[in-house]
Structure 1
Amino acid sequence: MKLISKTFALALFTGLLSCHQAPQQEPMEQVIKRSMKVAQQQSRAMAESLLERDQHLPRTINRETGELITSDSRWWTSGFFPGTLWYVYEYTNNDSIKELAEVYTQRVEREKFTTNNHDVGFMLYCSFGNGLRLTNYDQYPEVLITGSKSLSTRFDENVGLIRSWDFNKEQWQYPVIIDNMMNLELLMWTFKHTGDSTFYNIAVSHADKTLKNHFRNDFSSYHVVSYDTLTGHPHIKMTHQGASDSSLWARGQAWGLYGFTMMYRETGKERYLEQAQNIADLLINHPNLPEDKIPYWDFSAPNIPDEPRDASAAAVMASSLIELSQFSNKPAATQYLDVAEKQLRTLASPKYLAEPGTNGNFILKHSVGSKPHNSEVDVPLTYADYYFLEALLRFRELLQMGNAQTKQK
């Protein structure tokens, strides 16, 4: 987890504490403590249940039977459960949780050689990246560097982007999905660690071309943009998991928000900050964002309000908005933090936070994978858990900094 704060943002957060935590509300410190207790119980139970099932990682549950569905490391979400364990360890400093995190992190190591999809960043940076940050193990950097080299093989200089998928070649020449912004953090880490500007240049090129071609005038994002490999220009703009080609698929919008916030943190380029703020403003002011701030699976879904909510999109949004608030001035920073807090409070409520021993040992309920494919609809998902814990820890860091500054006055 990374969160860079500015001096003015510390003052902002300290001032916000008094208005955010009205007497009738549960203090955010308690929300975080209560949620992390559940996270520790659920994650430990999940990890222990799969210890004897070599190479298995949790994915979701069968909605009808409640049966746990697992994957091996090849599935794109394989890095999230190891990352969740690392976040639990970060909060608890519990050595047995650390040992479990190490076990499940090793289960995705072979993905450092993966060159047939773009999800290497999700797989390795969420697992080995967090592990390295918290332990500084000598063997972890090699995994991340090798993974970055593998990911870089999917970059085409003429197109200027990392290719996302290799399937459906009869329709797409060179498909790039908005999710791919999330894999650039692995490349930026490798650039800083090795000094090799190749990784930086690939990440910036991908971000710039995404900024140029993926977004509509209102700063909403297409899910898929396919490029002509000869001209390097887009030839198709459409959806694969959203309600329609012109809709606002919720998790896709959140991936873009997170990705451009991260790229501003890593590069300092103002165009990325402006893009992140524009996306944030669109989402938090959208008329179809519910009062509790948990999005429907698509902001343009046809049967709102009778559409499934997506806790995973809310968790990614919350984590992004907390970080973005630290780069933004009032009143935007205040609004971003207000929405993120509301999302965390809702996700920590009984409606979304699982009772220990239920929900297949996942932390959050009610996420949506791909509704058009009737896949993983209204079920727990590993990435919802991962970004929920990341957001909680980011918020806790702001609380700690705000409290520390108050004591210094």
Structure 2
Amino acid sequence: MAIKINRNLTAKKLLPKVEQFFHLSGQKILSIEKEWRASKGTPVFTEKGKYTTRGWTEWTQGFQFGSAILQFDATGDQKYLDIGYKGTLKHMASHVSHVGVHDHGFNNISTYGNLRRIMREGKIPFNSREIDFYELALKVSGAVQAARWTSIPAGGFIYSFNGPHSLFVDTIRSLRVLAVSHQLGHSLMGEKDKKISLLERLVQHAKATADHCIYYGKGRDHYDICGRTAHESIFNLNDGSYRCPNSQQGYSPFSTWTRGLAWAICGFSEELEFFMALKDKELKPFGGRKKLNNMMLKAARATADYYIENSCVDGVPVWDTGAANIHYLGDYLSKRSNPYNNYEPVDSSSATIAAQGLIRLGNYLINSGKKASGSKYRQAGLTVAETLLDEPYLSTSSKHQGLVLHSIYHRPNGWDYVPRGKKIPCGESSMWGDYHARELALMLLREARGESYMTFFDY
């Protein structure tokens, strides 16, 4: 079975649910702002309805303050802008110069990028010194991220926090910061003042991800099913050769961690949109528009199709499509998702990310003249969105700081909270799930209002 796609959904039809979503969203943001202490670190996920931290990397801090900026965009309420602006100013500088992570496109686009975007859109007064500040942060962030580089025979990739042998599928969405930095006219400067193109590194990383993290049903290994993703790809640093798939947060290297799948759908779809804003002469040195679009569209469609086919009928997937106890769920793909089952958790955060990617992929194809196939993906994304905008996923309790329930962080490490009387994690939220739900809802809200199309880049 697959997602039961509602062909009649529109952004306007979802508007009442989106408005309720942002009403609840504001309550959650204010609760976190009131109770969270920066000395604790960064809020990551909830336990018993309260946000808590988990020391690994500080990759969610941008989502904390970025959520408030998105809330301002949706509501125009100044207090949320104040939270986002002050939080960015006080806490985000270290993320701009952080050389040890692969998540610049998460932290810094969510904060500096969103602040710059709403100023350019006229939603806040234009201030030349302020926008210079945002742009300097984004320029530097893009270059710092691009410097975290492993060369391989076919190009190279931004390596994960695991080290230079490691390519994460997640990082496809972190490429956003390279894209913005490039658009702002910036480059990475290397030894002997060598000027390194950020667009070139973006293209090479996207190709490495498409080649090694995405499966296409070509017999690469015994588990090569078209659209599957590997969370991590391992390389031999002596000669740059690819060695094997691996998984940090999924069940196994040969099953599909669905949040990694969602990152691929969203990341490739956004980069396809970004390339539409570039001139042919910018893309020509890297193979040209047609070749690059074909590479990314192949990856985007393969992963989108796999997501649609391997999610429950309401669009929410189990956390990993090959999880150990999934067989106990029976024919679960022919039913609505059940976050309270006794065997394997679902992951709503995968759905929040994938829904946006599906809508963007659909829009891209429709704008490219492929209305039939584009409509399929767009309506699938709207179907997932409708599920997330209602219970049991929408958190309606004022006592719970999370916005979208039933998110999973790291099942293999056992980090997710299992409520008393339950056998699996459920009922909790994550900072990335809540942030991406807000991005998704804001896209729909702006469309329903007739506002400009929301992108991370200039067009």
2: CA distance between counterparts of 1:29 and 1:55? 37
Instruction: Identify the residue that residue 334 of structure 2 maps to in structure 1.
Output: none
**Alpha-carbon distance change, 223 to 124 in structure 1, aligned in 2, over 3 angstroms:** same
CA apart distance, 1:401:
4.1
CA apart distance, 1:55:
7.8
Alignment-mate amino acid for residue 278 of structure 1: A
**Alpha-carbon distance change, 49 to 188 in structure 1, aligned in 2, over 3 angstroms:** same
Q: TM-score, normalised by structure 2?
A: 0.76
Instruction: Identify the residue that residue 318 of structure 2 maps to in structure 1.
Output: 296
Superposed counterparts of 1:146-157, under 5 Å: 146-157=140-151
CA apart distance, 1:195:
5.0
Residue number among 405, 408, 415 corresponding to 1:375 in the alignment? 415
2: CA distance between counterparts of 1:200 and 1:67? 40
2: CA distance between counterparts of 1:261 and 1:67? 33
Residue number among 4, 9, 13 corresponding to 1:27 in the alignment? 13
Instruction: Identify the residue that residue 76 of structure 1 maps to in structure 2.
Output: 59
Instruction: Identify the residue that residue 60 of structure 1 maps to in structure 2.
Output: 45
Residue number among 261, 272, 280 corresponding to 2:296 in the alignment? 272
RMSD: 2.5
Unmatched 5+ stretches in structure 2: 121-129, 188-195, 218-225, 277-291, 330-342, 417-424, 452-459
CA apart distance, 1:54:
5.6
Residue number among 117, 139, 157 corresponding to 1:133 in the alignment? 117
Residue number among 251, 256, 259 corresponding to 2:259 in the alignment? 251
Check the 8 A contact 2:40/2:53 in 1, yes or no. no
2: CA distance between counterparts of 1:105 and 1:117? 18
CA apart distance, 1:53:
4.0
Q: TM-score, normalised by structure 1?
A: 0.85
Check the 8 A contact 2:231/2:246 in 1, yes or no. yes
Q: How many residues align?
A: 374
CA apart distance, 1:72:
8.5
Instruction: Identify the residue that residue 92 of structure 1 maps to in structure 2.
Output: 75
Where 1:370 maps in the other structure, the secondary structure is coil
Superposed counterparts of 1:9-408, under 5 Å: 19-20=8-9, 27-50=13-36, 53=38, 56-63=41-48, 66-70=49-53, 74-106=57-89, 107-135=91-119, 137-138=130-131, 139-158=133-152, 160-166=156-162, 174-194=165-185, 196=187, 198-216=197-215, 217=217, 218-268=226-276, 269-270=292-293, 271-286=295-310, 289-304=311-326, 305=329, 306-328=343-365, 329-359=370-400, 361-376=401-416, 377-378=425-426, 379-401=428-450
Deviates most, 184-193 or 67-76 = 67-76
Instruction: Identify the residue that residue 12 of structure 1 maps to in structure 2.
Output: none
Check the 8 A contact 2:139/2:186 in 1, yes or no. no
- How high is the sequence identity, in percent, across the aligned residues? 21
Check the 8 A contact 2:150/2:165 in 1, yes or no. no
Unmatched 5+ stretches in structure 1: 1-15, 168-172, 403-409
CA apart distance, 1:20:
2.5
Check the 8 A contact 2:214/2:299 in 1, yes or no. no
Where 1:183 maps in the other structure, the secondary structure is coil
**Alpha-carbon distance change, 241 to 17 in structure 1, aligned in 2, over 3 angstroms:** closer
Check the 8 A contact 2:103/2:171 in 1, yes or no. yes
